Amino acid sequence: MKTTMRQVAEAAGVSAMAVSYVLHGTGKNVRVSKETAEKIRRVAAELRYQPNNVARSLRNRQTHMIGVVFQHFSRLSDANPYYPQLLNGVMSALFPQKYTLALCPELAMGTAEEAIFDGRFDGILWARPDFNEASIEKFRHASTPLVLMHAPPGTAEGVPTFCADNEGALRLVTRHLRDLKHENICFVVDELSEPTAEGKARISAFLSAVEEEGIWGEVFVWDENPRTFKEYLQAHPRITAMACFSDTIAGTVLQTCKVLDIQVPWDLSVIGFDSSSFCERTHPRLTSVHQPVELIAFEAVTHLLSMVRDRANGIELEPGVPTTYKCGLDLRDSTTTPSKKRF
């Protein structure tokens, strides 16, 4: 038979309110000494007491559930190490606070506003968002706390954003390629990522960086088809390096180069973004921008939980501010000085 909180209280010789305060953090006016708190925890462990989080959530009118939205949910099945990194950061913040994670593929397919307003979640973390002005306006006034990850500053005014410093990252990339004597480079982004807030931010950062460094640069929105890749390079024979939106797209570039007998890095230098463990398994090993994905996710969710607590306590939420994270460039084997002839 399951041990109740009242049984713990009787065994410890204290009130049920004291047990609730020590084990659940409820009851603002309850005062319990350190010795009594230790006794309550010891008795609870001896009786194998397990809190009923669902019942407590119903009493508090909270679900203790955080929704996590990926813009392109199907990519979770791509064996991309980026997603485990992100989820590790999320769970490191949620589990100690007894919150549950819900992955939400449907929210990225047109029902986002309903889910945010209908109370099924205490808060929502949206990764790599892509929404229109109408949605952004609704999010600004949403009653459910919302945090955006991989969303550059200014994505949605008043909504907290947590994002890599894309401008600094692309400056590192272009300077590295310039130092290797590359004069014509392109930024490769896939069709799914190009319209996202972060896709647009990295494109803008790349174009600013090449202008700043005084080298030629262009954006290649790629459908990941080897034929269009070959046609693009044939139409742009001076391009000697590709900076990619992600490690995933960079990996596809490496595979395509192998099919087309393009030797990386001698014929074409390639740089990824994320510097995940995937970069050590490619051939050649992939030079890539390092962003602290796990830390970004952890701090985004930690902030989200503070918003949830404030809302539960009737504290008006302050307008969110952007948080950006410095990136580095992990040099491996996929970049070098360009050869004089590719084809």
Distance CA 169, CA 19 (A): 50
With beta carbons less than 8 A apart as the criterion, state whether 189 and 250 touch: no
Helix, strand or coil, per DSSP, at residue 201 = helix
Which of 53-67, 163-177, 205-219 is least confident? 53-67
Least confident among 135-149, 210-224, 322-336: 135-149
Stated length of the chain:
343
Domain topology for 166-291: Rossmann fold (3.40.50)
Is residue 60 predicted with pLDDT exceeding 60?
no
Say whether pLDDT at 291 is over 70: yes
pLDDT greater than 90 at residue 6:
no
For residues 283-288, give the mean pLDDT.
98
Whole-angstrom Cα distance, residue 227 to residue 209? 29
* Least confidently predicted of 81-85, 140-144, 245-249, 336-340: 140-144
Name the residue among 148, 82, 139, 79 with its Cα closest to residue 112. 139
Q: Residue 214's pLDDT is what?
A: 95
Domain with CATH 3.40.50.2300 in the chain: 65-164+294-325, 166-291
The per-residue pLDDT of the chain, averaged, comes to 87
pLDDT at position 5 is: 84
Whether the predicted pLDDT of 51 surpasses 80 = no
Is the pLDDT assigned to residue 265 strictly greater than 80?
A: yes
**Tokens in use for 22?**
């020590």
8-47: pLDDT as tens digits: 888 888 888 888 888 876 665 678 888 888 888 898 888 8
Angstrom distance (rounded) from CA 53 to CA 236: 60
Fold of 65-164+294-325: Rossmann fold (3.40.50)
Q: Show the CA angle centred on residue 298, arms to residues 294 and 302, nearest 5°.
A: 175
Q: Is the pLDDT of residue 58 over 70?
A: no
CATH 1.10.260 placement within the chain: 5-51
At 295-311, the pLDDT tens digits run 999 999 999 999 998 88
Task: Categorize the per-residue pLDDT at 183 as very low, low, confident or very high, splitting at 50, 70 and 90.
Answer: very high
CATH of 5-51, one of 2.60.40, 1.10.260, 1.25.40, 1.10.10: 1.10.260
> pLDDT class for 281, splitting at 50, 70, 90?
very high
User: In a 3-state reduction of DSSP, which class is residue 186?
Assistant: strand
**pLDDT-derived band at 168, boundaries 50, 70, 90:** very high
Q: How confident is the model at residue 79 (pLDDT cuts 50, 70, 90)?
A: low
Instruction: Give 308-323 pLDDT, tens digit per residue.
Output: 988 887 788 888 889 9
Does the structure show a pLDDT above 80 at 271?
yes
Residue 113 has what pLDDT? Answer: 57
Between 237 and 119, name the one with better pLDDT.
237
pLDDT at 250 over 60: yes
Alpha helices in 95-244 (DSSP H): 112-117, 133-140, 166-179, 197-213, 226-235
In this prediction, residues 220-246 reach a mean pLDDT of 97
